[in-house]
Amino acid sequence: MHGKEDLLNELYVKKYQEFKQVDYPQIAEDILRFWKENGTFQASVDQREGAETFTFFEGPPSANGTPGIHHVMARTLKDIFCRYKTLKASK
């Protein structure tokens, strides 16, 4: 495993570094490669082995109209709840 400093350098997050152009697809590929090389996802799953299960039931998507700010807000809230439960060691 890399140290925290290696991770930050690996992911282009150097203190106060500015980029003229940011290549988001490349950054995403680099992050995915880092996760795969270090078993990050599997480690997060293994860490919660035997923990309380959290299930989030979501209704069907709505396709009757153009997306609006309410869609962003709803998805944000859904994401917050799932992340919170993950951080609290639920699986």
- Asked whether the predicted pLDDT for residue 8 surpasses 70, the reply is no
Q: In the prediction, which pLDDT does 15 show?
A: 59
pTM score of the predicted model: 0.51
Report the candidate in 23, 33, 25, 27 with the shortest Cα–Cα distance to residue 2: 33
Domain ranges of the chain: 1-47, 52-91
* CA distance linking residue 59 with residue 74, whole number of Å: 11
The 10s digit of each residue's pLDDT in 9-57 is: 666 555 556 667 888 898 899 999 999 999 998 988 888 888 888 888 8
How much is the pLDDT for 75?
86
* Angle, in degrees to the nearest 10, between helices 40-47 and 24-38: 60
In sequence order, the 6+-apart residues with CB closer than 8 A to the CB of 2 are 10, 34, 38
